Structure 1
Amino acid sequence: MTQQAAALQTYNNELVKCIEDLCSKRDELNRQIKQEEEEKERLEHDIHVLSEKLRRVSESLSQRQAARATFDRTIAETEAAYTKILESSQSLLSVLKQEAGNLSKATEPRRKEH
């Protein structure tokens, strides 16, 4: 019977060791799970922060692009109007020179022909 008791004691010791090993592995797995859960929470927080930042930057970018389009349109309209003013000034100057020439001819004393 002592031989059976010794065998039983050996099995019991091995069983306890196996259970302790499993518990140790489970504890390590729990530590890894907790670590990954914390990392997941950090990443989700970072995603939230970055998504909010992306939203704000996109909104700002949209507003700035709209403002730029307004500048572009205003500049184009102003340049077109300025070109018309230059053309009108050139035409006015040409007409004025022609009229001044005609007035000069009209006010010159006439020479008597022989």
Structure 2
Amino acid sequence: MTQQGAALQTYNNELVKCIEELCFKRDELNKQIKQEEDEKARLQHDIRILTEKLSRVNESLARRLTARAEFDRTIAETEAAYMKILESSQTLLNVLKKETGNLTKATELRNSKDH
């Protein structure tokens, strides 16, 4: 019987050792799980912060793009109107030169007839 008792004691010691080893491995795994859960929470927080920032940047960008389009439209309209003014000024200048020439000729003819 002592031999059976000794075998039982050996088995018992090995079982306790295996259970302790399993508990140690579980504790190590729990530490890793906790670290990953912390990392996950930190990443989710960062994602929320970045998503909010992205939303604000998108809104600001949309406003600026709209403002730029208004600038582009105003500039195009102003340049077109300015070109019309230049064309009209050139036409007016040409008409004025022609009329001045005609008036000068008419005046010279009258002056030469008067003398």
RMSD across aligned C-alpha pairs, in angstroms?
1.1
Distance 2:10 2:97 in 1: 126
Distance 2:26 2:97 in 1: 103
Partner of 1:104: 104
Give structure 2 stretches of 5+ with no counterpart: none
Partner of 1:65: 65
Pairs aligned (count)? 112
Partner amino acid, structure 2, of 1:50: L
TM-score computed with the length of structure 2 as normaliser: 0.93
Alpha-carbon distance, 1:102 to partner: 1.3
Distance 1:14 1:35 in 2: 31
Distance 1:3 1:97 in 2: 136
**Match status 1:19 vs 2:19:** yes
**Which runs of 4 or more aligned residues in structure 1 lie more than 6 Å from their structure 2 counterparts after TM superposition?**
none
Alpha-carbon distance, 1:4 to partner: 0.9
Give structure 1 stretches of 5+ with no counterpart: none
Alpha-carbon distance, 1:106 to partner: 1.8
Alpha-carbon distance, 1:16 to partner: 0.2
| CA offsets 1:54-97 (integer angstroms, 9 cap, x no match) | 10111111111111101111110010000000000000001111
Listed as ranges, the matches of 1:85-96 within 5 Å are: 85-96=85-96
Partner amino acid, structure 1, of 2:4: Q
Distance 1:105 1:21 in 2: 122
Alpha-carbon distance, 1:15 to partner: 0.4
Larger helix fraction of residues: 2
Distance 1:15 1:104 in 2: 128
Partner amino acid, structure 1, of 2:92: L
Distance 1:58 1:12 in 2: 67
| CA offsets 1:7-37 (integer angstroms, 9 cap, x no match) | 1100000000000000001000100100000
Paired residue secondary structure (1:9):
helix
